[in-house]
A and B are shown apart, each in its own frame.
Chain A
Amino acid sequence: MTPTTDGGRLITGPMLILFAALVTLPFWVQSVGLYQYLGVEVAIWMIYALGFNLLLGYGGLPSFGHGAFLGVGAYAFGLAQFHVLENLWVGLLAAILVGIVAGGIVGLFLAHRRGIYFALLTVAFGQVFWFVSLKWFSVTGGEDGLLGIPRPSADFGLVEFDLSSNLSLYYFTLAVLMIVVVALWRLVHSPFGKVVRAIKQNETRASFLGYNVRLYKWAVFTLSATTAALAGGLFAMAQQSAFPDVMNLVSSGTIVMMVLIGGGFVSFWGPVIGVTVFFVARDVIGSITETWLLWFGLMFMLSVLFKPEGVAGLWQDSSGESPA
């Protein structure tokens, strides 16, 4: 709360460390036995995870159907390319707008729920979206999904970047990630962010202080869904396709595990750490044994049982830092 803390800053030390690590990633990723496209995936999942943690870590609202919004964003990006205009900004804007609409509508049904009722409804809505994507063949292409989605270049008027190579695609998604990090850091330290965290701690008291709890919960849900949809748009752009699988329970469940292992409840950086742990597990443990997901699952169980504050919590314990 004092003006000297990081909360008031636009850019912070940990941000610079993250950005430095990611900006240099293409130069060292192959020397540690990994590959360029991994960076794209990591950046996209970090966006998704940061938006997810806005809801879980800051709002205390567990969504087990968030993959729906990732998927909605992916389809919106693809459909905009096919039916509106083959343009990167149009596609990403479509993902964001559809995210706002889908999140906003689902949020109406969720904003006055808490705990298990909230969680179960998110599962149900997630299934509804998945089912629609599977059955609404004329729009979504059913099980086959949308194939051959174009990946237009990033046109800034004066300069235009071709995104067909993995490297340029990576730097583009990284730029989006940086914007999301800065914006969400600002958001969680803004009056809105503080109110959302207050509501998580004590809904009743917040409402007796004059806060319209439902409206705040709706807003934070919609924001989180929109961030997921943006990540989904980037995903469709990167993969040049969109499938019902993006919306399934796996991508909804994986994000929960990532964010919890990383320590989303105690740190802004929890989701970033969690995504890193997940991809290291997938690609490093995965190169040794096919049962990597089992090991990741075990890690998740151990975390839930012994250290619900996750990796960020371990870090804070050892360095004596207070939660950020």
Chain B
Amino acid sequence: MALFEAQHLHKRFGDQVVLEEINLSFEAGQLSGIMGPNGAGKTTCFNLLTGLYKPDRGQITFGTENITGLPPHTIAQKGIARSFQIINLFDEYSVLENVVIALPRVRDHGFTCHRALTNDSETADRAANVLAQVGLAGREHENAADLSYGDRRALEIALAIAAEPRLLFLDEPTSGVGTEGTARLTELIESLKERYTIVIIEHDMRFLFEVADRISVIHWGQVIAEGTPDELRTNKWVQASNLGKLV
């Protein structure tokens, strides 16, 4: 059975139907890719899967649990983390504080008032570990707002993995970074692949076809194709939509 499944998802904003009928399933331990043209509804799909919006129809299951319509914080507590296409950090906080706030052990004691967060070396160790993973070691005390765009992208991912998720959604993690930045982030994602179950929206097709175990193509509000990278290369839908030309 799949770790995560979405069935018959439908979402419209006013008169605009963005997602007509979406069926997706993600296996534990795999890296699943989602592709599709701009405006196809990929981010909206993530927003449904992680609780920002309720689907108008359909069902979402995580493990054996029906999580349809649950709020984001409840879904996050169940072990689903995500990053954002538009960088979404705590800009008044240092790099370290950003990561610390994302740690489950801090979240689980979020209502603790009587002791300072600073007095806890285990917390600092875990945060340092996360920062080392994304290549921000030694940058703990810089302000998140002062980082370069590429480093902010890395911190965006750091917040998601600090949550120690069972399932990690990454929404265009390389969006807006130059060639060099992309190389660094793709390397990072390849290393994360070893440790996490990942679902990634990615516009760099070459990269996606290289790292993904399975890929789903969203277009016209539906999953028009689904399969391994090899299967997709020969898929008529993928070739008909000009996505095929990229690979």
Contact = CB atoms under 8 A, between A and B. Distances in A.
Interface centre among B110, B117, B141, B163 (most CB of A within 10 A): B110
A187 interface: yes
Nearest to A208: B72
Contacts, number: 114
A193 interface: yes
A204 B101 CA distance: 13
Nearest to A202: B90
Contact size range, B: 35 or more
B88 A204 contact: yes
B107 A211 contact: yes
A189 B118 contact: yes
Given A198-B101, A210-B107, A190 B72 contact: no
B90 A198 contact: yes
A4 B102 CA distance: 22
A189 B96 contact: no
Interface in A181-226: 186-187, 189-195, 197-198, 201-202, 204-213, 216, 219
B119 A8 contact: yes
A9 B93 CA distance: 20
Given A7-B116, A205-B89, A194 B100 contact: yes
A195 B94 CA distance: 14
Interface in B36-77: 50, 52, 71-73, 76-77
Nearest to A212: B73
Contact of A209 (B76, B91, B115): B76
Which secondary structure characterizes the binding site on chain A?
helix
A191 B111 CA distance: 7
A192 B113 contact: yes
A269 B110 CA distance: 24
Nearest to A10: B116
Contacts of A3: 118-119, 121
Contact of B50 (A195, A208, A212, A213): A208
Nearest to A185: B116
Contacts of A201: 90-93
Given A8-B116, A186-B114, A209-B73, 7 more contacts: A189-B116, A195-B107, A197-B92, A202-B88, A202-B89, A208-B52, A210-B163
